[in-house]
Amino acid sequence: MADIPKAGSAYPCGPCDLPMRCRCGQVVTEQNVESYSCNLDRVECEICDHCSTRRCPECGAHLCCGGCI
């Protein structure tokens, strides 16, 4: 089985495709990924605006490709 790519700043410049391994160690797939915007909390978030609202179901970290802002 191939290694699952890491997300965020641990794996700058992508890939953005799932599955990914979050920095907390959770494997995030299309079946368990969460998606919500920081802007729901009235907080501007460049990651939500430019990358994605996808988040880890375990820790809630953004699953952007680090460095894409």
Q: Rounded CA gap, 26 and 30, in Å?
A: 13
Q: Which amino acid is at 10?
A: A
The token pair at 42 is 């009235």
What ranges do the domains of the chain cover? 1-69
Residue pair 38/31 in contact by the 8 Å Cβ criterion: no
Q: What is the tens place of the pLDDT at every residue in 6-62?
A: 555 555 555 567 888 888 888 889 999 999 888 766 777 877 777 778 888 999 888
* pTM assigned to the model: 0.67
Angle at the Cα of 35 from the Cα atoms of 17 and 19, rounded to 5 degrees? 25
Instruction: Match 């920095």 to its residue by tokens.
Output: 23
pLDDT at 2: 52
Rounded Cα distance between 10 and 3, Å, is 14
